[in-house]
C-alpha cells in the first residue's frame, strides 16, 4: 500500500517552497531587496559623529591591553539565620579593576579591592590569568600596588596631567562593573576638585561616566587615551550608578605609588597631625607679623600627645609648606599628612615669632 500525504500537507510544503524563493529571489520582487538598501544617512551627513565614534574606538583600542580585571578570594564565615551555632566557611570571590603602569608587571588598583584578600589574580584582555603579588598599599589614599610576572603581553598605560583637565572634557572609564570585563563608558568631567567626600580628605575628579561596583581601580581616561584618574567611588542611595562618580587624580596617585614603592610590603596606615588650623584673618596677620601675600594656615590649637605636640609644633605657628608643597588651606595640609601616613615624617616650613624655621614631624599613633 502506497503512503500518500494529505492534501493540506502538500499545500503547506508548496507554500514554504514559494516563500523561500521569494526571500532569496534577486531583484525587486524578493524580500532580499530590503536588506540591500543604502544607509539612511550618508557619510557627509554624519561626518562629525563618525569622527567622534572613531576617536572613542581609538581610545579603547589603545587602552584595552592595559586594563585588567582583578579577582580576589577570601574565606568568610557564613552563619545560618535560623540556628545560632550553625555556620560554615566559604571561599568567596569578588571582582575589581586595575591597569598596568610598568612593563615589569606593576599593576595599580584600589586598596579596598584587595583588602583582606587571601589570593589575588589578574585577568588580561585575552582571558589569560596571572597570580599577583602584593607590593604595598596606602589605606587612606585607597591605592594598592600589585606585581605580576613580566612578558604577559600587557601594555603599560600613558599618564595625562590631571591638573590640566577642565570641566566638560571627555572622561572615559574602562573597568569590570559587576564582573563584566573591560566595559567602556563615556562621559565628561563634571567637577575638578571635589573635597570632603569621605575620611580621606583628598580631592577627586567628578564624572558622569558609568562607574559601578567592580569598576573600582580602573582608569579614567582623557580623549588622548591617557590616564587622568583612578576610578574609586560613586554617590548613590541604591549602590548603583546615578551619574555621580569619583576618581583619584593621577598626579596625586603617582605620588602615592612612589611612596608605596619606597615602603614595599607595608600597608601605609592613616595618620593625623593633631592640629586645629585655619587661614589667618587680617587681624591675626597684623598681630603675628605675617605678610599679607604669604599663604598658609595658622595653628590655633592642638591635641595633647599628638604628633604635632610631641614634635614641637606650637600654637600660632604659621605653616607655609608641607613636604615642599605650598599650603594654601587646611585641605592641602591634610593631603600631605595623608600621603606620608602613620610612621612617616612630615617636613614643615613654619613662620614662628617673626622668623622662618624648618620642623620635622613624625606621625605617631596617639
Query: Can you give 223-238 as a three-state secondary structure string?
Result: CCCCEEEEEEEECCCC
pLDDT of residue 362: 95
Hey, what's the cell of 327?
A: 599650603
| Positive or negative torsion for Cα 226, 229, 230, 236 | negative
Domain ranges of the chain: 50-75+87-268, 275-363
Q: How many CA atoms, within 13 angstroms, populate the side-chain half-sphere of residue 65?
A: 10
Q: DSSP string spanning 23-80?
A: HH--STTSGGGGGGPPPSS-TTTTHHHHHHHHHHHHHHHHHTTTEEEEEEEEEEEEE-
For strands 318-322 and 297-302, give the pairing.
Answer: antiparallel
Is domain 50-75+87-268 annotated with CATH 2.60.120.10? no
Determine which one of 62, 112, 158, 169 is catalytic: 112
Q: Is residue 172 over pLDDT 90?
A: yes
**Alpha-carbon gap, residue 121 to 14, rounded angstroms:** 59
pLDDT of residue 366: 64
CATH number of 275-363: 2.30.42.10
Average of pLDDT values for 128-152?
Answer: 94
Rounding to the nearest 10 degrees, give the CA dihedral for residues 157, 136, 201, 326: -80
pLDDT of residue 242: 79
Average of pLDDT values for 276-283?
Answer: 94
Average of pLDDT values for 95-122?
Answer: 95
22-31, 216-225, 274-283, 285-294: segment of lowest average pLDDT: 22-31
Q: Is residue 333 over pLDDT 60?
A: yes
Q: Which of 195, 191, 175 is nearest to 183 (CA)?
A: 175
Q: Convert the pLDDT of each residue in 109-122 to its tens digit.
A: 999 999 999 999 99
Helix (H, G, I), strand (E, B) or coil at 101: strand
Band the pLDDT of 160: cuts 50, 70, 90: very high
**Alpha-carbon gap, residue 189 to 169, rounded angstroms:** 5
In the residue annotation, 138 being an active-site residue is answered as no
**Alpha-carbon gap, residue 232 to 248, rounded angstroms:** 7
The mean of the pLDDT values for the chain is 88
Q: Is residue 357 over pLDDT 70?
A: yes
Average of pLDDT values for 276-290?
Answer: 94
Q: Is residue 77 over pLDDT 70?
A: no
In the residue annotation, 80 being an active-site residue is answered as no
Hey, what's the cell of 214?
A: 567592580
Determine which one of 142, 208, 317, 332 is catalytic: 142
Average of pLDDT values for 160-169?
Answer: 96
Determine which one of 216, 306, 307, 311 is catalytic: 216
pLDDT of residue 16: 79
Kindly state the helix (H) or strand (E) to which residue 259 belongs, with its residue range: helix 250-262
In the residue annotation, 306 being an active-site residue is answered as no
Pick the residue with more confidence: 173 or 9? Answer: 173
Residue % of the chain over a pLDDT of 70? 87
Q: Is residue 262 over pLDDT 60?
A: yes
pLDDT of residue 85: 60
pLDDT of residue 7: 74
Kindly state the helix (H) or strand (E) to which residue 365 belongs, with its residue range: none
DSSP state for residue 279 in the 8-state scheme: P
Band the pLDDT of 84: cuts 50, 70, 90: low
- Cα separations in angstroms, 293 against 90, 282, 296, 322: 61, 11, 10, 18
Hey, what's the cell of 20?
A: 523561500
pTM recorded for the entire structure: 0.79
**Alpha-carbon gap, residue 54 to 187, rounded angstroms:** 16
Contacts of 237-245 with CB under 8 Å at 24 or more apart are 239/213, 240/212, 241/210, 241/211, 241/212, 243/187, 243/208, 244/190, 244/206, 244/208, 245/173, 245/206, 245/207, 245/208, 245/209, 245/210, 245/211, 245/215
Q: Convert the pLDDT of each residue in 11-70 to its tens digit.
A: 777 777 766 665 565 555 555 555 566 678 888 888 899 999 999 999 999 999 999 999
Amino acid at each position: 500500500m502506497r503512503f500518500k500525504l494529505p492534501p493540506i500537507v502538500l499545500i503547506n510544503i508548496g507554500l514554504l517552497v514559494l516563500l523561500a524563493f521569494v526571500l532569496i529571489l534577486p531583484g525587486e520582487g524578493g524580500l532580499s531587496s530590503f536588506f540591500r538598501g543604502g544607509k539612511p544617512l550618508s557619510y557627509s551627513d554624519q561626518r562629525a559623529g563618525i569622527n567622534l565614534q572613531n576617536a572613542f574606538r581609538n581610545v579603547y583600542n589603545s587602552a584595552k591591553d592595559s586594563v585588567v580585571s582583578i579577582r580576589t578570594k577570601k574565606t568568610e564565615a557564613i552563619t545560618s539565620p535560623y540556628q545560632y551555632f550553625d555556620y560554615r566557611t566559604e571561599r568567596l570571590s569578588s571582582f575589581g579593576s586595575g591597569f598596568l603602569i610598568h612593563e615589569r608587571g606593576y599593576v595599580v588598583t584600589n586598596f579596598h579591592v584587595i583588602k583582606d584578600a587571601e589570593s589575588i589574580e589578574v585577568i588580561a584582555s585575552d582571558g589569560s590569568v596571572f597570580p599577583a603579588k602584593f607590593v604595598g598599599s596606602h589605606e587612606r589614599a585607597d591605592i594598592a600596588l600589585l606585581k605580576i610576572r613580566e612578558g604577559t603581553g600587557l601594555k603599560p598605560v600613558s599618564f595625562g596631567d590631571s591638573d590640566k583637565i577642565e570641566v566638560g572634557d571627555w572622561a572615559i572609564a574602562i573597568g569590570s562593573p559587576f564582573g563584566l570585563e573591560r566595559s567602556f563608558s563615556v562621559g565628561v568631567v563634571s567637577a575638578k576638585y571635589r573635597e570632603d567626600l569621605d575620611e580621606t580628605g583628598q580631592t577627586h575628579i567628578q564624572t558622569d561616566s558609568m562607574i559601578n561596583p567592580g569598576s573600582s581601580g580602573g582608569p579614567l581616561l582623557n580623549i588622548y587615551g591617557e590616564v587622568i584618574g583612578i576610578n574609586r567611588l560613586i554617590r548613590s542611595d541604591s549602590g548603583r550608578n546615578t551619574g555621580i562618580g569619583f576618581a583619584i587624580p593621577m598626579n596625586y596617585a603617582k605620588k602615592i605609588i612612589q611612596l608605596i614603592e619606597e615602603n614595599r610590603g607595608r600597608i601605609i596606615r592613616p595618620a593625623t597631625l593633631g592640629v586645629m588650623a585655619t587661614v589667618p584673618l587680617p587681624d591675626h596677620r597684623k598681630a603675628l607679623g605675617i605678610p599679607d601675600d604669604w599663604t598658609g594656615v595658622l595653628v590655633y590649637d592642638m591635641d595633647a600627645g599628638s604628633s604635632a605636640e610631641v614634635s614641637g609644633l606650637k600654637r600660632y605657628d604659621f605653616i607655609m609648606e608641607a613636604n615642599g608643597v605650598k599650603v594654601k588651606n587646611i585641605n592641602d595640609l591634610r593631603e600631605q599628612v595623608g600621603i606620608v601616613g602613620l610612621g612617616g615624617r612630615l617636613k614643615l616650613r613654619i613662620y614662628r615669632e617673626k622668623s622662618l624655621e624648618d620642623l620635622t614631624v613624625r606621625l605617631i599613633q596617639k
